[in-house]
């Protein structure tokens, strides 16, 4: 009988070593090396999940026929947008999010919508019993007969049920609870997650079955398990939001079949998740007019324009080092723009605390929000409110210049649709397009010029 070989695997990054170490040399985390048996030295039973395709031969790229990937659309247009137009056959999609955020609710609703199209759906729950899943289905008013529920954690048994049911769509909730018998480590370990995901990928690719995997997240907000997990799947979606607020954001961070900058917004109701078609109205509905430090920016989230309020509070510091706090944007952008305002505009901000927040819980990371952020800081420092009918869009350079941004036409059209009267944008964006009626587009070339227009009464 062959001797079983062991190895030590880091549970944070997947680094493997022949001996135990207190500190992982790859991710520098302490006490994360766990002893596991090498799967290559263990022979176990195999099944449907271990089937492999025949070896192919290299082809000339000019001889390969290019065709559009067939997609399955759901009733949720926000969900379809994030995936790039719908679910691709044979794709493996990973959805991560905080506990209780609504991942299972979202996938159960999607499964029911596909089942209503006479598509057989297999929902595998490793954390809940079939009765618990039935209770959620009753709350969501799901009555279709094409939705099959399985409470199982053994990958071999799951693959056998996939072979018997032959579903058109599979949901695994969650990958951290699934285990493979040949791997002797505990479910949720690096080896189990990697091997189970590899087997599920073989099922999806060889049979053309879309598989959605739910992944737990760590306290830092990233998906638990090895980083290799995100590289193996075709798409990675993050379900974000506060548990005590009703709005949820589905954001794509990886997508081999579409854009990675799309965002879908949902509202959690008693009867389940409901998509929000016009998020700009929601983000601006509680905006207080006449308050200093408040500006509105037209930000692009993939192909969608979202109008969001940026709030700033500037107050004298009581300590030697002033605070710089930012929520919803990169915190490094705040001191950079404050340095530009102090150097190019003459605002003495070095002894001021700065608190920046993006209203509505949205995260903005594009350069076009620089101008709105700078105007918001100056408005709070001077205690001069901005015009509530103004929109600010533009990238701010270190010399105080305003640089052009992309898709200015879509931003202005969204502002006009919601009743705004003026858009202050880079001067280089004014040529080559027609402005919508009922809105004034003003081009500026410096931060000082934008402040003169935006804070003038």
Q: Which residues are annotated as a binding site for ATP?
A: 97-104
CA-closest candidate to residue 223, choices 211, 210, 240, 209: 240
Pull the structure tokens for residue 225. 């398990």
Cα 452 to Cα 349: distance, rounded to the nearest angstrom: 18
Pull the structure tokens for residue 434. 């027609």
Residue 327 pairs in a beta bridge with 357
DSSP letter (8 states) at residue 342: I
Cα–Cα–Cα angle for 230, 301, 399, rounded to 5 degrees: 105
CA-closest candidate to residue 226, choices 194, 272, 273: 194
Cα 220 to Cα 269: distance, rounded to the nearest angstrom: 27
Distance from CA of residue 349 to its chain's centroid?
A: 34
Cβ of 282: how many Cβ atoms within 10 Å?
15
Pull the structure tokens for residue 91. 């794709």
- Sequence-distant (6+) residues with CB within 8 A of 28 are none
Quick check: 212 and 95 in contact, CB under 8 A? yes
- Sequence-distant (6+) residues with CB within 8 A of 205 are 53, 90, 92
DSSP string covering 300-311: EETTEEEEEEEE
Pull the structure tokens for residue 26. 């790859």
Pull the structure tokens for residue 278. 């016009």
Residues annotated within the binding site are 97-104
Q: What is the largest CA-CA distance in the chain?
A: 87
Quick check: 438 and 414 in contact, CB under 8 A? no
């Amino acid at each position: 009988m062959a001797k079983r070989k062991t190895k030590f695997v880091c549970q944070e990054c997947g680094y493997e070593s022949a001996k135990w170490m207190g500190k992982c040399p790859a991710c520098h985390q302490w006490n994360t090396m766990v002893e596991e048996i090498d799967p290559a030295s263990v022979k176990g039973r195999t099944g449907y999940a271990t089937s492999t395709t025949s070896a192919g031969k290299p082809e000339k790229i000019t001889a390969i026929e290019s065709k559009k990937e067939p997609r399955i659309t759901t009733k949720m247009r926000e969900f379809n947008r994030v995936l790039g137009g719908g679910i691709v056959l044979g794709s493996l999609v990973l959805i991560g999010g905080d506990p209780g955020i609504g991942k299972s609710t979202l996938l159960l609703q999607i499964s029911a919508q596909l089942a209503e199209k006479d598509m057989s759906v297999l929902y595998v729950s490793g954390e809940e019993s079939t009765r618990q899943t039935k209770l959620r289905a009753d709350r969501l008013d799901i009555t279709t007969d094409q939705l099959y529920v399985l409470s199982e954690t053994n990958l071999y048994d799951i693959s056998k049920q996939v072979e018997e049911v032959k579903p058109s769509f599979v949901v695994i909730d969650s990958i951290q609870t699934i285990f493979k018998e040949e791997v002797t480590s505990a479910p949720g370990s690096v080896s189990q997650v990697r091997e189970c995901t590899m087997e599920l990928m073989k099922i999806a690719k060889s049979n053309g079955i879309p598989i959605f995997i739910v992944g737990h997240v760590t306290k830092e907000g990233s998906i638990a398990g090895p980083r290799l997990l995100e590289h193996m799947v075709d798409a990675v979606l993050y379900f974000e939001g506060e548990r005590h607020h009703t709005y949820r954001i589905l954001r794509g961070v990886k997508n081999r079949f579409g854009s990675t900058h799309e965002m879908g917004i949902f509202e959690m109701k008693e009867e389940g998740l409901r998509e929000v078609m016009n998020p700009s109205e929601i983000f601006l509905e509680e905006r207080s007019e006449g308050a200093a430090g408040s500006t509105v920016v037209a930000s692009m989230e993939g192909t969608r324009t979202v109008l969001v309020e940026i709030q700033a509070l500037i107050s004298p510091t009581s300590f030697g080092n002033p605070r710089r706090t930012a929520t919803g944007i990169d915190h490094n952008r705040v001191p950079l723009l404050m340095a530009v305002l102090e150097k190019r505009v003459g605002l003495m901000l070095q002894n001021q605390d700065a608190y920046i927040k993006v209203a509505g819980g949205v995260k903005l990371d594009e350069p076009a929000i620089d101008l709105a952020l700078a105007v918001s800081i100056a408005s709070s420092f001077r205690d001069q409110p901005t015009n509530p009918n103004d929109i600010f869009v533009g990238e701010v350079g270190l010399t105080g210049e305003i640089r052009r941004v992309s898709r200015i036409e879509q931003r202005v059209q969204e502002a006009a649709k919601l009743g705004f009267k003026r858009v202050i944008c880079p001067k280089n964006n004014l040529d080559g397009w027609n402005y919508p009626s009922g809105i004034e587009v003003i081009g500026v070339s410096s931060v000082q010029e934008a402040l003169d227009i935006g804070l003038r009464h």
